Amino acid sequence: MHRSGVGWEYQYFLGTGFLTGGRGYALTAAHVVRGRNEGQIIAAFADQSGGWWAAAVHEYSVYENEDVALLRLAGGPWRSFFRLSNTFETASRNYQMFGYPEDVANEIVEGGSVAHRPDLIYAQGYIRRRISREIPSMTGTQFFEVSEVVGQGCSGSPLFLNRSGVYAVVGIYVGELLTERGTSRAFAVREDAFRDWRPPIIDRTVLEESWGVTTNV
């Protein structure tokens, strides 16, 4: 969305993100926001009436090693039920995820208009394998190849495990690659690759932020 003289107007959909911790921060894929002016990005939240309401992105940090970004949002207080898992995961692990595929967010409705509806999509799948090398057109070297291809717009979506009501994030969805056979393979950046990242806009690691841990300095 774009800030105008009287408020915000929708221009295009960038991707998905999720709140972390309790101080007004959110995580997403770095390519969702990289190179964009912070003053022209908002985080849009679905409300109970079926519409959107907006929180401005004050600033963001992009992790240089992997496709991850941390956003600082206006307003709040913001509290999240997501926590970084701080675990080692590998092939065969089942996961769940939520996201906003672009083809659903920009769905054509009756009369031929585009709805821009906040329809959150659920998916579940399994980790196919761990990857620790570069992948063409992807940023970083630490990935999961995952079973569910959820489409453009879901970049930044959390892959999580439901542990007795605690949503433990094991990765962040970062996109797909088209194979020579015309099929797609999907990838997520692994949580263990960014949990110890300390962005300059906070005073702790993203793992500590997600759990509300105070850093001793």
Mean pLDDT of the chain: 88
Asked if 109 and 145 count as a contact pair (C-beta separation under 8 A), the reply is: no
pLDDT at 96: 98
pLDDT digits (tens, 9 = 90+) for 59-112: 999 999 999 999 999 987 778 999 999 999 999 999 999 998 887 766 656 555
| Superfamily of chain region 2-80 | Trypsin-like serine proteases (2.40.10.10)
Q: In what order do the strands lie in the sheet with 69-73?
A: 17-20, 25-28, 69-73, 52-62, 42-46
At residue 121, does pLDDT exceed 80?
yes
Task: Answer whether 2-80 and 83-193 agree in fold.
Answer: yes
Phi-psi region of 24 (alpha: psi -120 to 50; beta: other; left: phi over 0): left
Domain ranges of the chain: 2-80, 83-193
pLDDT at 217: 42
C-alpha to C-alpha distance for 183 and 150, rounded to whole angstroms = 13
Nearest to 168 by CA among 112, 104, 86: 86
The CATH code of the domain at 83-193 is 2.40.10.10
Nearest to 38 by CA among 57, 10, 66, 13: 57
Give SS3 for 118. Answer: coil
pLDDT at 1: 46
What angle (nearest 5°) sits at the alpha carbon of residue 85, between those of residues 151 and 141?
55
pLDDT at 7: 62
pLDDT digits (tens, 9 = 90+) for 150-186: 988 999 999 999 988 889 999 999 999 988 888 899 9
Q: Which amino acid is at 119?
A: D
- CA-CA-CA-CA torsion for 108, 109, 114, 115, nearest 10 degrees? -120
Helix (H) or strand (E) holding 167: strand 166-178
